[in-house]
Amino acid sequence: MKLKWLVAFTVAAILDIIDWLIAGMVPVAGDVVDVIGVVVLMLLTGSLWPVVGLVELVPVVGDVLPTFLAVTYFAYKAEEGKAKGAGE
C-alpha cells in the first residue's frame, strides 16, 4: 500500500473519530470539519469518492457511520481496480 493511502486512511479515521466524539457537541464545527475533510481526502486520494462523505452533513445518519473510512476504502479499491485493469 502506498504512503498516500496510509495517510488517507489515517486522516479518514481521525475525521470519523472527531465526528463520534466532538462534532455531536458542536454541530456547526462538525460540519466545517466534515467539509474540510472531504476536500483533504479528495486531494490525498485524487478521487471524487470522498464527495460521498458529505452525507456526514445529514444529522444522525452521517454521525453514526464511519463514512470517511468507507469512502476512502472505495476510492482505494477503485484505484486498485484501475491498476489491475491497466496491467500494472
What is each CA distance from 61 to 1, 44, 57, in whole angstroms? Answer: 30, 25, 9
Q: How far is CA 50 from CA 25, 38, 39, 83, 87, in A?
A: 24, 5, 8, 19, 26
- What confidence score (pLDDT) does residue 21 get? 83
d(C-alpha 79, C-alpha 60), whole Å: 30
**Tens of pLDDT, residues 28-54:** 888 888 899 999 999 998 888 888 888
**Three-state DSSP class for residue 86:** coil
**Domain locations in the chain as residue ranges:** 3-85
> Per-residue pLDDT for 63 more than 80?
no
Please identify which residue in the block is written with the cell numbers 470517511.
68
* DSSP single-letter state for residue 84: H
